[in-house]
Amino acid sequence: MENLHRTIRLLYTGQSRKARRFRYGLIVFDALTIVYFIATAALPSSSMITMMNTLLGLPILIDLMARLWISENRRRDLTKIYTLADIAVILSLLLAPLITENLGFLRVLRGLRLIHAYHLLRDLRRESLFFRRHEDAILASVNLFVFIFVTTSLVFVVAFDEGAGLTSYIDALYFTVATLTTTGYGDITMTTPGGKVLTVFIMVVGVALFVQLARAIFQPSKIKYKCPECGLNRHDLDAIHCKHCGEPLKIETEGSDSG
């Protein structure tokens, strides 16, 4: 058992080629499940989709159990948002066959798998120099992407009937984007108090996320690297000294990778 525990820990945290390939495999799996949940959000329940949901739910469950097993602080990790999102997604996938009532709320829970993208980004921060150089812009894009599709799922459940279909889901996406960009064509509107509150939320948060993305794209690029002396964690790409305290920095570059 100890050998198995050590093997799994090395796969999730080690720097060997095998461990890196394993983590990249997890990244690909995460990306595919996110695409699947978005693509099937508006499809009516069927035996094929139920079977696919179960097949996807099991590896997500195994991954969660493995991460908790090797965790040094399980209580802390259980409270992290992507862990809670995974638990909600797993329950929505594995318990769906036992629920015969409206499954709209389950679709919203599956949309929470998008939150797991932040866990994926943590791996990329460790593995990719390109990601570290453009982290602010990438994170801002992911924030906007997650917000759009989670709120689209909410709009679809609130404003459209169960089984409304793909066309209605596209209408929900159209409404979400038109609202958060404050375009407001008015051809699709919310009529209930809850729907109007959701509309206000989309406008306020959506504008803030757009501003965040624009600032990340157009402001001078910085790389994330914590100064060992003063703790400043944003520096110019070619910095050799910390601007705050003058401490020499050893920021990884493409040249140092090739050497």
- State the Cα–Cα distance between residues 119 and 33, nearest whole angstrom: 14
CB 203 within 8 A of CB 180: yes
User: What does the pLDDT read at residue 65?
Assistant: 92
Residues 169 and 257 in one domain: no
Residues 11 and 92 in one domain: yes
Residue-number span of the structural domain to which 168 is assigned? 134-221
pTM check: above 0.95: no
User: What does the pLDDT read at residue 73?
Assistant: 86
Residues 120 and 20 in one domain: yes
User: What does the pLDDT read at residue 257?
Assistant: 46
Give the long-range contacts of residues 163-172, CB within 8 A, separation 24 or more.
Answer: 163/44, 164/42, 165/42, 165/44, 166/42, 166/43, 168/42, 169/41, 169/42, 170/42
Diameter of the chain by CA atoms?
A: 64
Residues 238 and 217 in one domain: no
Residues 117 and 150 in one domain: no
Closest CA to 50 of 93, 15, 10, 17: 93
Residues 125 and 1 in one domain: yes
Task: State both tokens at 35.
Answer: 């695409």
Q: Which domain CATH number covers 144?
A: 1.10.287.70
Residues 15 and 75 in one domain: yes
- State the Cα–Cα distance between residues 125 and 35, nearest whole angstrom: 22
Q: pLDDT tens digits for the chain (259 residues)?
A: 788 889 998 888 887 888 888 888 887 887 788 778 777 766 766 788 888 888 888 988 998 899 899 888 888 888 887 788 788 888 878 876 665 454 555 555 666 666 666 666 666 666 677 777 777 788 788 788 878 887 887 888 777 765 566 777 788 888 888 888 877 677 777 878 878 888 888 888 888 888 888 887 776 566 666 777 676 666 665 566 676 677 676 666 544 444 4
Closest CA to 232 of 220, 222, 242: 242
Closest CA to 154 of 189, 196, 104: 104
**Domain count within the chain:** 3
- State the Cα–Cα distance between residues 19 and 38, nearest whole angstrom: 29
Q: How far is CA 115 from CA 51, 77, 79, 80, 143, in A?
A: 23, 15, 14, 11, 9
> How many CB atoms sit inside 10 A of residue 66's CB?
15
Residues 15 and 113 in one domain: yes
Closest CA to 34 of 137, 130, 131, 118: 118
Residues 123 and 238 in one domain: no
CB 108 within 8 A of CB 153: yes
CB 256 within 8 A of CB 225: no
Residues 6 and 68 in one domain: yes
User: What does the pLDDT read at residue 236?
Assistant: 62
User: What does the pLDDT read at residue 258?
Assistant: 40
